[in-house]
Amino acid sequence: MANLYQYDDMVALSTLSINRNVLEDTIPNEVKEKLNQLVDDLESGVFPAFSISSRDEDIVGLHLLVENWKKNFKNLIVIGVGGSSLGAQALVNFKGKFAKNSMDIYFLDNVDPTTVDGLIQNLPLTETVVLSVSKSGSTLETMAQTLLFFEAFKVQGLPVENHIVGLTENKTNTLRNFLESHNIPILNHPEGVGGRFTVLTLVGLIPAIVAGVDAVKIRQGALSVLESFLNSPYQSDSFYGALLSVYLSEEKNIQYMMPYSDRLRKFSEWFVQLWAESLGKDGVGTTPVSAVGSTDQHSALQLLMDGPKDKLVTLIVPDSFDEGSQISSELANQVGIEHLKGLNLGKLIYHQAQGTADALTAAGVPVRTFYTQKLTEEVLGALIMHFMLETAVAGVLFDVNTWDQPGVEEGKKRTLEYLMTSHNEKKAPV
């Protein structure tokens, strides 16, 4: 498969007056040994979140499930938080707001009562199916919302076993026990895959297939990057991307992810969780921020240009050069804007990305850029795998456990304590 994107960090390195050899010289020998172990583990399939990209036999069953839903329902509600939702959102968002032949998809990734009650009260539940996703089967938000929809289906006299499907680990847990007791079908969450790394598994692919995304091509794009990495890990874009981020982490501890496409808006949000939850531990890590071009040229760009020089900026620039409708030359003349004559929006947003990169570089802000082919499933899959690998490598360089999230678990524990000890009390005096 031809290169789906071109990674350019040379401008960033030039801005900082360093080169890749300097970066590589900062890696201690013991860290190099851990990097070698990571590469060996990826090659031998220790991490199924990565190796699943080489498979496609499971996708046939997912299509059968989705086809059955489309015959019987108009609405899909995906209940899940964090990694149980963001990867799927990134894939669905890629298809765009006007995807054809898709059910209406609603992601419930928060327990805001207005949103949840609004769906229950306004959607025709006879035409609605719920996918309830929780790896552990004990996620409080997922359980709460699942119970609310269970009750809503019951109140309307609908068979819950036809309207709810669970997705959780194949072991005893709260969600599985509840669903089994009501004969509700359950799909098995992939073993050994943390939520934020599940985008290439059925967790991400089921909603994506509903939206019309080609799941096989997503994995093919991802596999092309994984194979390239395994062929020459220390010359790979993912390695150099991680090395740059970690090397700059004390001085540039905020990382902006800014794709120039609405179809990558949720991808940017997925990256924020992937990077933050994987690497923010033991007092290290950098703060990822989600942005989108050209929208945030009119907000965050001012801070990036003239604010503290504590940021690394990542731009993703798809080849949109010949996309979009053309602006009438006659109308452009009427408003007196010569350079809009015959211009299509794809060319406009592409040049906005170029202009932003140049302006940031001139202001001394390190910018790295991904120039991609036209946005396809293969390109999206390639970007997903790149940043999964970059995160895994950065975890070794930071010397943290990339795969856990102890801070998240502590927050869950304290929430539970409030619910158990002060169920009817408000904390704030309002």
Active site residue 250: no
Alpha helices in 45-122 (DSSP H): 48-51, 59-72, 86-95, 113-122
pLDDT in tens, 277-331: 999 999 999 999 999 999 999 999 999 999 999 999 999 999 999 999 999 999 9
Residues of the chain with CATH 3.40.50.10490: 5-40+215-398, 55-210
**Omega before 294 cis (within 30°)?**
yes
Chain Cα centroid distance, residue 134: 17
Q: Which of 97, 100, 298, 426 is catalytic?
A: 298
Q: List the beta strands (DSSP E) in 208-344.
A: 254-259, 287-290, 311-318
Chain Cα centroid distance, residue 231: 25
Q: Which amino acid is at 206?
A: I
Active site residue 298: yes
Q: Which of 70, 341, 347, 412 is catalytic?
A: 412
Are 45 and 403 contacting, i.e. CB atoms less than 8 angstroms apart? no
Active site residue 74: no
Buried b (16+ CB within 10 A) or exposed e, 105-114: bbbbbeeeee
**Four-way CATH pick for 55-210: 3.40.50.10490, 3.30.30.10, 3.90.1860.10, 3.30.420.40:** 3.40.50.10490
Q: Which amino acid is at 401?
A: N
Tens-digit pLDDT profile for the chain (430 aa)? 668 999 999 999 998 899 898 888 889 999 999 999 999 999 999 999 999 999 999 999 999 999 999 999 999 999 999 999 999 999 999 998 777 767 999 999 999 999 999 999 999 999 999 999 999 999 999 999 999 999 999 999 999 999 999 999 999 999 999 999 999 999 999 998 999 999 999 999 999 999 999 999 999 999 999 999 999 999 999 999 999 999 999 999 999 999 999 999 999 999 999 999 999 999 999 999 999 999 999 999 999 999 999 999 999 999 999 999 999 999 999 999 999 999 999 999 999 999 999 999 999 999 999 999 999 999 999 999 999 999 999 999 999 999 998 888 888 888 888 888 866 666 665 5
Q: Is 288 helix (H, G, I), strand (E, B) or coil?
A: strand
Which CATH class, in words, describes the domain spanning 5-40+215-398? alpha beta
Q: Which of 141, 277, 377, 390 is catalytic?
A: 277
Strand partners, 289: 256
